[in-house]
């Protein structure tokens, strides 16, 4: 038979275990931000890499009607191949999510910057380099996935010559104060073949071959431009979503 002392101890232990839980329930108050958010729009995702329902399809494999400068580009077999000059979208964009697929020539010719060179220019200004960087050395801030002359990719996720590859890019345009000074630099995140290679990078300015990066306070949006650099590079399945912050 348990002693009185044991019974008291058991009772105290039970009270100690139960009471904080009960108090906790009584005293918890949910915090609410007070912001009355708008209902997020419903978007139907695409299967695989197909465009989601709210995307602007820039090239679906059949025509380049949404692009300028494509007179000598060739559209066949569901892709568009560079030729004669850069291709530039007729519409202009600022903050966006861009999906694009590309393939450098399967026949390997040239080396360094001369091998499968093209580029995806955001706002017609900031180049995400396209290059055959599969066993092809060049300067690191000029290899595939580099922000040209600013930042190498975090890793080299390149597939081989002729293989289809993808960039998924999240871009935020620069913002300027009324006096033209930079308020917020442009930022870019890039997934190359689903591998993160640029992580919310703050851009230093544009990406010219001939000089240091600079911002132009008059440019806060612009077209997407695909570079013709003398190499035959193929593109397909290009779509874009314009981004805006959630409404309250």
Task: Work out how close the CB of 125 gets to Mg ion at its nearest, in angstroms, rounded to a whole number.
Answer: 14
For residues 58 to 97, the per-residue mask of contacts with Mg ion, x marking binding by CB under 5 A and - elsewhere, is ----------------------------------------
User: In this chain, which stretch among 52-60, 86-94, 101-109, 222-230 interacts with Mg ion, using CB under 5 A?
Assistant: 222-230
Among 119, 161, 174, 222, binds Mg ion (CB under 5 A): 119
Shortest Cβ contact with Mg ion: which residue?
Answer: 119
Task: Work out how close the CB of 44 gets to Mg ion at its nearest, in angstroms, rounded to a whole number.
Answer: 34
User: In this chain, which stretch among 109-117, 176-184, 214-222, 234-242 interacts with Mg ion, using CB under 5 A?
Assistant: 109-117
* Residues contacting 93, CB < 8 A, separation 6+: 123, 221, 222, 223, 224, 240, 242
Should residue 142 be labelled a site residue for Mg ion when binding is judged by CB under 5 A? no
* Residues contacting 90, CB < 8 A, separation 6+: 66, 67, 68, 223
102: its two tokens: 């590309």
Return the exposure string of 78-108: e unless at least 16 CB atoms fall within 10 Å of the residue's CB, then b.
ebbbbeeebbbbeeebbbbbbbbbbbbbeeb
Should residue 145 be labelled a site residue for Mg ion when binding is judged by CB under 5 A? no
Should residue 153 be labelled a site residue for Mg ion when binding is judged by CB under 5 A? no
Among candidate residues 67, 115, 138, 124, the one with its CA nearest the CA of residue 233: 115
For residues 209 and 71, give the distance between their C-alpha atoms in angstroms, rounded to a whole number. Answer: 25
Binding interface with Mg ion (CB under 5 A): 117, 119, 227
């Amino acid at each position: 038979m348990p002693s009185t002392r044991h019974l008291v101890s058991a009772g105290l232990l039970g009270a100690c275990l139960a009471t904080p839980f009960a108090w906790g329930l009584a005293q918890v108050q949910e915090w609410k931000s007070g912001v009355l958010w708008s209902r997020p729009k419903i978007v139907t995702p695409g299967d695989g890499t197909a465009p989601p329902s709210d995307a602007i399809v820039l090239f679906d494999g059949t025509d380049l009607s949404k692009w300028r400068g494509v007179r000598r580009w060739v559209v066949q077999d569901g892709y568009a191949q560079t030729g004669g000059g850069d291709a530039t979208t007729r519409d202009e964009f600022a903050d966006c999510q861009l999906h694009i697929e590309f393939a450098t020539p399967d026949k390997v010719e040239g080396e360094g910057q001369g091998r499968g060179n093209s580029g995806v220019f955001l706002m017609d200004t900031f180049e995400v380099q396209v290059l055959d960087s599969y066993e092809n050395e060049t300067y690191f801030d000029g290899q595939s996935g580099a922000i040209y002359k600013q930042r190498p990719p975090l890793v080299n996720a390149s597939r081989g010559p002729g293989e289809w590859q993808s960039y998924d890019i999240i871009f935020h345009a620069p913002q300027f104060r009324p006096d033209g000074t930079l308020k917020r630099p442009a930022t870019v995140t890039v997934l190359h073949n689903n591998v993160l290679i640029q992580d919310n990078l703050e851009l230093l300015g544009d990406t010219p071959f001939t000089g240091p990066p600079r911002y132009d306070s008059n440019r806060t949006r612009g077209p997407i431009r695909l570079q013709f650099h003398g190499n035959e590079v193929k593109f397909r399945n290009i779509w874009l979503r314009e981004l805006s912050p959630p409404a309250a």
